[in-house]
Chains A and B, each alone.
Chain A
Amino acid sequence: MSETFSLPPLEIEQYKLENGLRVVLNHDASIPVVALAVYYDVGSRNERPGKSGFAHLFEHMMFQGSENVPKAGHFQHIMKAGGTMNGTTSSERTNYFETLPANQLPLALWLESDRMRSLAVTQANLDNQREAVKEEKRLRYDNQPYGQIFDLISEMIFTNFGNAHSTIGSMEDLDNASVEDVQEFFRIYYAPNNAVLVISGAFEADTAKQLVKTYFGDIPSQPIPAQVDVEENGEVANKYKSWEDKLAPFPAFLLGWKIPKRRSTEFNSLYLAGKLLYDGDSSRLYQKLVKGDESVIQLFGFTDERRGPSGIFVGAIPKPEMDLSVIRDVIMREIRSIATDGPTPDEMQKLHNQLINDSVRMRQSSMNRAQQIAEFTLYDGDADLINKELEELLAITPAQIRAAADTFLNNENRSLLDIVPAGKG
C-alpha cells in the first residue's frame, strides 16, 4: 500500500532580495495562522579555537533588544498578539521563529527585521548574557546527571575542531570575548545575505512580498563569511573513555559512530537502521533489553544530522546490578544481524508507514513546515526538497541499510564512553 502513496506537493515560492536575503513563501490557508522562521548560517561549526560558544551566546543577545524593541519586548509583543516564539542554536545554524494569528504577519516581520538591522550589542548586554549562559551551562550540563555525555562523545568521534566542540562552548572563551568581537560577529553572520526567511501559513503572496521588502529591503548586505572546513581526515572513531559523573545515579554507556553527511544514501540508510534498533515499543533493542531481559532502565538512540560528517549514537542506563558489557554485546549482536541479514520485510513495511506518517504529520503545523523548508534552503539551496524528502527515504533498499550498517556500525569505527558514578568506580 505504502509504495503507491503520494502527497500533494506543498506550495513553494522562493526568491532573493537585492541584499541577498533568501525568502521562501509556503502558502497554506487551511488555518488562519502564520509562522515565520529566520535561519542564520552560523552555528558552532563556524567557531574557531578560542572563540567557542559565540553562536549560542548570540542567540541570547538577540532577545536583549534592538533600536525600536526594548529588552524582553520581543516576547511581550508576541504574547500580546496571541503568539508563541523561541530560538535555538546547533552546530549547523542559529534559528528564530514565531507562530501568530495570520493577521499579525507585519508584527513578526517588524520584530525580526528590527533585530537583524539594529541589535543592541552593548557591554552591559554582553556581560549580562555571558552570566545567563554560564547559569544555563550549570543548569543544563554541569548540574545534570549524564548532562555532558553528548558533548563528550562528539569530542571523541570527531577530530576537526569545528565538529568536535560543544555549542555551549568554553566559559573561558566567553570571558575573553570583547564587545568588539561580538559586534564583529554580528556584522559578519547576522547579515541578510547570510540568512533565510520562511513564511508559512495563511497570507496573500503580494502582501507578504511587499511587507518583506519594506522591513528587510534596506538592511545592508555584508561580505560573504569565509567558508568553513568541516572535513574529517579518513580516520575512524575507535576510541574509549571512562567519565566520572558525580551526579549520575547509575553507571551508563554511550556508543557513537562517525557517519557520512546528511541526505547521503549512507546517512539515510543508517537513519533507518537506527529507527529499527531504538525507535518505539516494537524496536529490536526495546523488546530485547527493556521488555525481554528487563536489564535496562532507559534506552536511547539518535542521529546527529550535519552538513558534513555526522553521527549516530546508542546509549543505555542499565539496572544497577546488570553487567554493562553483556548489554553492549546484545546491542552489537543486533547491529551485526542488520549488517548481515538486513531488515526483514515486516520491518521495511513498518519503516515505510512510519516515514509516511511522519511526513504527513509534519505538514500539519505551519511552524514545522517553516523550519524544515528553512533547513533545505540553507543547507541545500533548494526549498523544493521538502517535497522530495519522503521519496528519497522510501527509495532506500534493505540492501543499502544492510551495507551501511556493515560499513559504518562496526567495532573498528566505534567510540565507547563509559559513565561511572563518581565514588563508585
Chain B
Amino acid sequence: MTQTSLKTAPEPLAPIPFHLSEPFETRLKNGLRIVLCENDRLPLINFRLAFYSGDADEPSDAIGLTSAVAALLTEGTENYSSRELAEKVDRLGAHLSANSSEDFLVIAASALAMYEADLIDLLAEVLFRPTFPESELSLYKRNTIENLKFQRSQPNFLANEQVGRILYGEHPYATISPSPDDIEKLKRQSLQEHHASSLVPNNAVLIVVGDFEQDQLLAKLEEVFDRHWPKGEPPKREFDTPPDRSAVTITIVDRPGSAQANIVLSNLAAKRNDPDYFAAVVMNQVLGAGASSRVFMNLREEKGYTYGAYTRLNMKKLAGDFEATAEVRTAVTGDSIREFLYELKRIRETPVSEDELADAKNFLKGVFPIRAETQEGLTNLIVNQQLYGLPQDYLQTYRENIDAVTADDVQWAAAKLIQPEKLAFVIVGDGREILAQTSEFASDIEIYDTEGTKKDMAELTAEPAAPASDLSGKWSLSLDFQGQKVPVTLKIEQEGAVVTGTLDTILGSGTISGGRVTGNKLTATATTEMQGEAVEFTINAEVESDSITGTITAPIVPNALPFTGTRDN
C-alpha cells in the first residue's frame, strides 16, 4: 500500500454473513408455547416466561395492579421470604426478576448453564407460589408513591401524560402511569386474584436461549409447567379504538417560570407488525433517530435551539404513534416547531438522497449483529420476534429487508406515518410565553396545569393583575422540612411582574428565571442540575409587605414544604 492510500477511509473487507438458526417451537398440552434456541457458545442459560397481556388489560378501577403483581412475585413465596429468595438467587450467581409493560408481563431468569435445574425451580416458585406479603406490599406502595410524585416534577412525564390522553382517548394505551391514589388502593387480595386469573399457560410463551440439551430440557419443562398448571381464560383484548383526529391541536402544560419548553408533536402511526415496518425504521433513521439524523442536524447543529432533537416511532402491539421531540429555550419554541414542520413536510414530499439512505441502512444493518453478541441481547431479539408475532424468519432476514428499502419506500412510509395536518402539539413550559408563540399554528388550544387539571384559557390570556408589591430584595425563610426548621435564602429581582433570582436551600441552589407576581401572589420555578438532569423546585407564596408565607415543592420530597419568612433590610 502506498502512502496516499492512508489519506482516505479504506474500503471494507468482504462482508461476513451473520447466521442465526431458527428456534425449535412446540406447545404443551395446557397451551403454553415453548421456544428453544440452543446456543452453546458459552455455558449460560436464559429464560423468559412472557404473558401476552399487560398493563393495558387491567380493569380501569385497578390501574397499577399488573406492575404490582410483577414487582412482588420475587418478594416472598410459600417456601421462601424475600431475603431467602435473594440469597438463593445470589448463591447461584443468577438473576431473577419480573416486569410489566402495556402489552406484556415478563419473568426473566438467567444463570450459568450448570444451574439450569435450580433456575427452573426458582422460576416455578415465584410463578406458582408467590404470597404477596403485606409488609412487602406496604414497602412497595411507599416507594412507588414517592417515585410517582417525583415523576410529576419532570416535564417529560407531563408531556407524555398528555400525549397518551389525546392520541389514545378511551383506549388503555392512554394511561401511561398509575396515580398515587391507584397505588394506595392496591390490596393484597386483588394481587392474589389477578395473579391466579391472568397468569395462565394458554396466554404465555416460555423462551429459553442458551447451552442446554433439548430433549432433557423439554422433559423437565413438561414436568414443571404442564402437569400442575391448568388452562385458564386469557383476557380478551377488545378495546375502544383511539379517536380519529381531523386537525392540529395544541395542548399547553403550564409550568410557570420554566426556563425550557418541552415540545412533543405526535400523531397515531402504526403498530409493531405493520407491513411497512422496515421502510418506517429507515425513514425514522434518516429523519430523527440519531445524532446524525436530519432534525438533530437542523435544530441543534445549525440553529442551536436545543441540546437534542429526535423523532421516534412507538410501535406497540395494538397501535402506535410517531413523535418529534425537543427541549428548547422558551424563546425559540415557535421557531423550533417551524423547523420540525419543515422537516416533516420535506421527508414526505421529497425523496431522500442516495447517501442518506445508504448511511441509515448501513447503521441499522451494522448494529444488528452487535446487539446479538451477548446472550442477553440475542434473547431480547428472539423475545421481541415472539411477543409481537413477527414472521418466523424475521431475525434471519432483518438485514436483507433493511437493505431492500428504497427512497420511494421511505417517502411512502413518511406519507403514511406522519400526518402534519393532524398533529397533536403538546408543550410543557411557561404557558403565557408558549401560548404567544404557538397560537398561530392552530385554533384548538387547551391548557393544563402540572397536576393534570384543565385550566381556563383566560388565566393565560388575561392581562396579568398588576403586581401589588415589589418583591425585590433578599428574603430569609424558615422551611418546615419533616419537622425540622431549615433556613432558606431567596434573592429576588423584580421587573414589572417578572421575577428572577436565586433560591439557596439544603436541597440545592437554583436559578429563578421568569417567575411571576400576580397581585400579592408569587409563582416561580428554580432550576438546578442533579445527576445530569435539570430538576426544578416550585415556589408558591403570598407576600404581605415584608413578610412572606408559602410552599416549596421539590423532587425527592413527597409533599410541598411550607415556609414563612421576612425580607432582610
Contact = CB atoms under 8 A, between A and B. Distances in A.
Contacts of B486: 423-424
A282 B12 contact: no
Contacts of A68: 6-8
Interface stretch (B186-194, B201-209, B370-378, B490-498): B370-378
Given A249-B508, A423-B505, A143 B529 contact: yes
A308 interface: no
Interface string A345-378: 0100110111111101101111000000000000
Contacts of B93: 350, 352-358
Interface residues on chain B, size class: 35 or more
B290 interface: yes
Contact of B528 (A77, A105, A207, A247): A247
A211 B82 CA distance: 55
B16 A366 contact: no
Given A68-B7, A106-B10, A82 B292 contact: no
Given A33-B370, A143-B529, A360-B43, A346 B508 contact: no
Contacts, number: 184
B504 A280 contact: no
A84 B374 contact: no
A1 B117 CA distance: 14
Nearest to B359: A80
A99 B370 contact: yes
B41 to A, nearest CB: 5
Given A33-B369, A249-B556, A364 B374 contact: yes
Nearest to B16: A32
Contacts of B139: 294
A107 B8 CA distance: 10
Contact of B367 (A84, A140, A282): A84
Nearest to A291: B83
B130 to A, nearest CB: 17
Interface in B502-526: 504-509
A292 to B, nearest CB: 9
A144 B531 contact: yes
Contacts of A422: 506
B89 A423 contact: no
A275 to B, nearest CB: 10
A273 interface: no
Given A246-B504, A247-B528, A83 B370 contact: yes
Given A356-B112, A424-B506, A114 B14 contact: no
Nearest to B91: A350
Contact of A360 (B14, B16, B44, B291): B44
B419 to A, nearest CB: 29
Contacts of A332: none
Interface string B168-193: 00000000000000000000000000
Interface string A390-425: 000000000000000000000000000000011110
Given A215-B6, A350-B91, A81 B374 contact: no
B482 interface: yes
B1 interface: yes
B17 A287 contact: no
A5 B114 contact: yes
Given A101-B369, A249-B506, A282-B90, A107 B532 contact: no
Given A145-B531, A355-B93, A364-B374, 7 more contacts: A32-B16, A82-B367, A249-B556, A353-B112, A354-B93, A361-B44, A364-B44
25 contacts: A30-B41, A68-B6, A81-B362, A82-B364, A82-B368, A101-B12, A101-B370, A102-B16, A103-B15, A104-B13, A110-B10, A144-B530, A247-B508, A248-B508, A291-B82, A320-B481, A350-B87, A353-B93, A353-B112, A363-B42, A364-B373, A365-B374, A423-B487, A423-B504, A423-B506
The 5 residue pairs across chains A and B that have the minimum distance between CB atoms: A82-B366, A353-B93, A357-B93, A32-B16, A106-B10
Interface of A: 1, 5, 7, 29-33, 68, 75-77, 79-84, 99-107, 110-111, 113-114, 139-140, 143-145, 202, 207, 214-215, 246-249, 280-283, 287, 291, 294, 320-321, 346, 349-350, 352-358, 360-361, 363-366, 421-424
